[in-house]
Amino acid sequence: MPKGYVIARVTVTNPEAYAEYAKGATEAIRQYGGRPLVRGGAYEALEGDARPRNVVIEFDSVEQARTYYHSPEYQAAKAKREGACVAEFVLVEGA
């Protein structure tokens, strides 16, 4: 079964509110079996526009990643980041 990856590219505009989101998101990731592979860190734009915060979370399956994202726990955390960042989130099937 292919793994599922949630990939986020983020520009934080309100660090305090984003920190509250991150607390809740971290707990939801743990609860739903996610493994953060990348959370922030140095980056280099190789092509196109880049965002300063990049996150990759691995799940055992696409369905598990989808369940995490739509869970009540993550949705509660997500509500705390509204207005705190500009972001793109994608779910990707991988090896």
Please spell the DSSP secondary structure of 5-45, one letter per residue. Answer: EEEEEEEES-HHHHHHHHHHHHHHHHHTT-EEEEES-----
Q: What is the distance between the alpha carbons of residues 75 and 24, in angstroms, rounded to a whole number?
A: 9
Tell me the per-residue pLDDT of 23-65, one tens digit each, with 9 for 90 and over: 999 999 999 999 999 999 999 999 999 999 999 999 999 999 9
pTM comes to 0.93
Do the beta carbons of residue 10 and residue 87 sit within 8 Å?
Answer: yes
CA distances for 24 relative to 46, 70, 90, angstroms: 31, 14, 19
Residue 1 confidence (pLDDT): 86
Query: CATH code for 3-42+51-94?
Result: 3.30.70.100
Residue 95 confidence (pLDDT): 87
Residue 77 confidence (pLDDT): 98
Residue 58 confidence (pLDDT): 98
Residue 5 confidence (pLDDT): 98
Residue 80 confidence (pLDDT): 97
